[in-house]
A = this chain, B = another copy of it.
Amino acid sequence: MKYVGKSIPRNDGFDKATGLGQFTVDVTMPHMLYAKVLRSPYAHARVVKIDTSAAEALPGVEAVCTFENTTDKPFNTSATMVTTPRPAEPVRDQTVFTGEPKYIGDEIAAVAAQTEAIAEQAVKLIKVEYEELPAVYDPLEALKPEAPEVQPVFGNKEHKNVCGEIVRIPFCAEEEFGPETMEHGFAKADVIVEADIKLPRVKQCQMEVHAAVASYKANGTLEIISTTQTPTPTKMIVAYALDLPESKVRVRNPPYLGGGFGVRIGISGKAEILAAVLSMKALRPVKLVYTREEDFLASDTRHGGYLHARLGAKKDGTFVALDTTAWLNTGAYCTFGVELLAVCGVCGTAGTYRIPYLNYAGYPVYTHQQTAGAFRGFGTPQGTAVVEACVDKMAQALNMDPIQLRKMNTMGPDDKNFFPFTVGSVGTNECLDKAAAEIGWAEKRGQPKTGNKRRGVGIACNTHVSNAAPFCVDYNAVNLTIEQDGTLRVNSAIPEIGPGSTTALLQVACDLLGVPFETATMIFGDSSAAPFDIGSHATRTLYSVSQVLKDAAEELKADILSYAAGHDFLDTDPAKLSLEDGIVQGGSRPLPLKELAYEAHLRGKQFLSTKCKVPENSLPFAAQAAEVEVDMELGLVKVLKIAAAHDVGHVVNPRLCEGQVEGGVLQGVGWAVREEMTYVEGEGFYNEGFHKYMLPTADDRPEIVSILVESEDPKGIFGMKGIGEVGCIPTLPAIFSAVEDATGVRFQEAPLTPDRVLAGLKAAGKI
């Protein structure tokens, strides 16, 4: 391998560092209009009357769309995929606009006008009369019989306010799973512990707000340039919702977008679909750029809610049974509610340890708040938080070292638990050892504490996935093209949402094919410049696209070598030839691909390959150790250091890998100690911008040490696994564990804000 393993600088770095990169906000088109949205001020209401006449009469207004004059076909803004087992189409409970708003921010109408100022003024001129209706905000409240019903049409008919289905996942390695199986399991345990955790709603806070420019033409085509992190699925969702042929909808990035973290799998907020319906009405291009307030107010968050776990173990520490329940607040609409609760169970509760008796129930619960959806980790962070709390409790109950307890229970290569495939390579124990060593576990853990500022160390481990197969539809297709001068072009519809996937994938492609990286290019982020690709999410981009690249590169190389072997070139057996760094070797002379491709071109032949592939799935394991300092007087938790050891299978680009780990850790720190969306009844979320939402700042950033462990997974190309999400998952439980080590209190609610810490310390009699 000439490129895999090297920290090649990212191809998009210069553009992003200098401001030359084009983002959606930079896009202009002839005769483009600007859009603004009218949103509900009520958490639950019915529009009694809407009068748009004054808005329509305002000079410069070109289109006013409301729930009354726009398609009311229900769709799902995020999910195109069908969950396993089939048939289970996504819950489609959302419309472009609504006359019965279900959260503060729900879309009632939108305006397209010649300037942003006119559009804003027009929105204010729309007169709406509302009838306010009763609302519910907490998932546990919403499950009660007396709660108001959030989705009377699309909600679960048996379980009040359950979105889709209660996700029930049973597993037993020793008997057929029945009603009493878990009782059998816990009966075999010598010690049983339980843990609860309450997790806040947090926001992705990606750098770029949601934005889209939609251009619908009278010939029936719709072109959208937007911030989506999944151009092809977004195309499918828009085509479905607006009843357009998919071939006539093109969705592309411009080509850059400022991050995603899951918030724009499918539609970016509702930017694409709102811009599209306005464009269809005005027959002009329409640009909609969310304000940061709208982004906070009206696009998906991470699911907050409640989790409970019960863990049973033998005296020697061997885990025998784990039963977990999650009640998560999916908000007013489903988006990924069902899928995310499943991942919470599969990866979050049962992905790390070998446990013969396993059960999980996940409740995706509708409330009258904005929708929760995908956020880096996709349910695994929530499940991991409660299970790791249980494991720590078990270590205390058994008086064992938490690392020792973990190591003796981690899954092996042939284990499966909830997974429909065996695990493959497992680097968990190496991660645990390396994280522990880096944090100074042996010297620091369990030391007696005194004084006002108390330090402690903690640890947690976890897994996630490297893509969504076989749980959901997940595959990629690519076109490989050898240009007339022998250089490689890779066309894939994956976006570049920030991690540098398009650089790392080129490294992989060049090593797979045997051509120089310096002359290769990737065309990305355009649903019409490549075949199907499911986008950047589920830790999948580098891992999954590498798999289809392998097939395509093999076909392409075979074609090249076969052509080089004949056609008056090398006159030999293709099997004797190889392609190395752009030169066909093994023949009578080294034949540069540059020469071969040009000669082939003169004869009307181009080397091309198109392939399509459902990927394998590999589990990235991780352990993070945290050191914290708790100010016992002020309740301040300062995270000093995170030692993040990650089994990435095989490192493709060390610098990019570390970037993923560091970014993930910092998000984990925010989740653990800073970030929280606070709901104020009648007003909505207090935190509608960065001035009120406590993202960790430079001062909150701990020392982060990334340790990359290579377990060489047999399923991954060159042994690789994914790394995109796993870094943000173990940070919270590791910090909670460290805080417990420092203070003697195991907190059960995040984030660890000063008031919460002081209250907890007081309740436990520690101050």
Chain A positions within 8 Å of B, measured between CB atoms, are: 11-15, 18-22, 26, 28-31, 82, 86, 215, 217-221, 236, 239, 245-248, 250, 283-285, 469, 473-475, 477, 479, 481, 483-485, 487-489, 491, 518-521, 523, 526, 528-529, 531-532, 601-606, 608-610, 612-614
Instruction: Jot down 9 A-B pairs with beta carbons below 8 A, ordered by A.
Output: A20-B284, A26-B28, A82-B602, A236-B485, A245-B521, A248-B521, A526-B529, A604-B613, A606-B612
Which of B14, B215, B219, B606 is within 8 Å of A477, CB to CB? B606
The 3 A-B residue pairs whose C-beta atoms are closest, nearest first, are: A604-B614, A245-B519, A14-B218
* Chain B residues with CB below 8 A from A605, complex form: 475, 612
Query: Among the interface residues A28, A246, A283, A610, which one has the most CB atoms of the partner chain B within 10 A?
Result: A246
* Chain B residues with CB below 8 A from A14, complex form: 217-219
Evaluate contact between B612 and A610: CB separation under 8 angstroms: no
Q: A14-B217, A30-B21 are in contact. Are A250 and B602 (CB under 8 A)?
A: no
Q: Which residue of B lies closest to A27 (CB)?
A: B28
* Chain B residues with CB below 8 A from A469, complex form: 604
Tell me, in angstroms, the Cα distance from A247 to B481 when the chains sit together.
Answer: 9
Tell me, in angstroms, the Cα distance from A257 to B613 when the chains sit together.
Answer: 38
Tell me, in angstroms, the Cα distance from A22 to B223 when the chains sit together.
Answer: 12
Evaluate contact between A28 and B30: CB separation under 8 angstroms: no
* Chain B residues with CB below 8 A from A247, complex form: 481, 483, 487-489, 519-521
Evaluate contact between A217 and B29: CB separation under 8 angstroms: no
Q: How far is the CB of A529 from chain B (nearest CB, A)?
A: 4
Q: How far is the CB of A617 from chain B (nearest CB, A)?
A: 13
Tell me, in angstroms, the Cα distance from A337 to B525 when the chains sit together.
Answer: 41
Q: How far is the CB of A459 from chain B (nearest CB, A)?
A: 38
Quick one: copies of this chain in the complex?
2
Tell me, in angstroms, the Cα distance from A239 to B489 when the chains sit together.
Answer: 14
Q: A30-B26, A532-B601 are in contact. Are A487 and B248 (CB under 8 A)?
A: yes
Evaluate contact between B285 and A20: CB separation under 8 angstroms: yes
Tell me, in angstroms, the Cα distance from A529 to B247 when the chains sit together.
Answer: 15
* Chain B residues with CB below 8 A from A283, complex form: 18, 20
Which of B236, B487, B606 is within 8 Å of A484, CB to CB? B236
Evaluate contact between B217 and A604: CB separation under 8 angstroms: no
Q: Which residue of B lies closest to A614 (CB)?
A: B604
Q: Which residue of B lies closest to A220 (CB)?
A: B518
* Chain B residues with CB below 8 A from A220, complex form: 518
* Chain B residues with CB below 8 A from A608, complex form: 477, 531, 610, 612
Evaluate contact between B604 and A239: CB separation under 8 angstroms: no
Q: How far is the CB of A758 from chain B (nearest CB, A)?
A: 48
Evaluate contact between B604 and A475: CB separation under 8 angstroms: yes
Tell me, in angstroms, the Cα distance from A9 to B377 when the chains sit together.
Answer: 49
Q: How far is the CB of A466 from chain B (nearest CB, A)?
A: 16
Query: Among the interface residues A485, A487, A531, which one has the most CB atoms of the partner chain B within 10 A?
Result: A531
Tell me, in angstroms, the Cα distance from A9 to B206 when the chains sit together.
Answer: 44
Q: Which residue of B lies closest to A81 (CB)?
A: B602
Tell me, in angstroms, the Cα distance from A483 to B530 when the chains sit together.
Answer: 11
* Chain B residues with CB below 8 A from A239, complex form: 485
Q: Which residue of B lies closest to A23 (CB)?
A: B30
Evaluate contact between A523 and B250: CB separation under 8 angstroms: yes
* Chain B residues with CB below 8 A from A523, complex form: 250, 528-529
* Chain B residues with CB below 8 A from A215, complex form: 20
Evaluate contact between B602 and A217: CB separation under 8 angstroms: no
Q: A485-B239, A612-B608 are in contact. Are A19 and B30 (CB under 8 A)?
A: yes
Evaluate contact between A221 and B20: CB separation under 8 angstroms: no
Evaluate contact between B532 and A484: CB separation under 8 angstroms: yes
Q: Which residue of B lies closest to A240 (CB)?
A: B485
Q: A21-B30, A247-B520 are in contact. Are A479 and B610 (CB under 8 A)?
A: yes
Tell me, in angstroms, the Cα distance from A49 to B182 when the chains sit together.
Answer: 92
Tell me, in angstroms, the Cα distance from A215 to B15 when the chains sit together.
Answer: 11
Tell me, in angstroms, the Cα distance from A526 to B255 when the chains sit together.
Answer: 15
Evaluate contact between B246 and A487: CB separation under 8 angstroms: yes
* Chain B residues with CB below 8 A from A609, complex form: 610
Query: Among the interface residues A285, A481, A603, A609, which one has the most CB atoms of the partner chain B within 10 A?
Result: A481
Tell me, in angstroms, the Cα distance from A606 to B488 when the chains sit together.
Answer: 23
Q: How far is the CB of A81 from chain B (nearest CB, A)?
A: 9
Tell me, in angstroms, the Cα distance from A606 to B531 when the chains sit together.
Answer: 8
Tell me, in angstroms, the Cα distance from A612 to B519 when the chains sit together.
Answer: 23
Tell me, in angstroms, the Cα distance from A215 to B256 when the chains sit together.
Answer: 15
* Chain B residues with CB below 8 A from A15, complex form: 217, 219
Tell me, in angstroms, the Cα distance from A531 to B248 when the chains sit together.
Answer: 21
Which of B26, B82, B604, B610 is within 8 Å of A473, CB to CB? B604
Evaluate contact between B532 and A529: CB separation under 8 angstroms: no
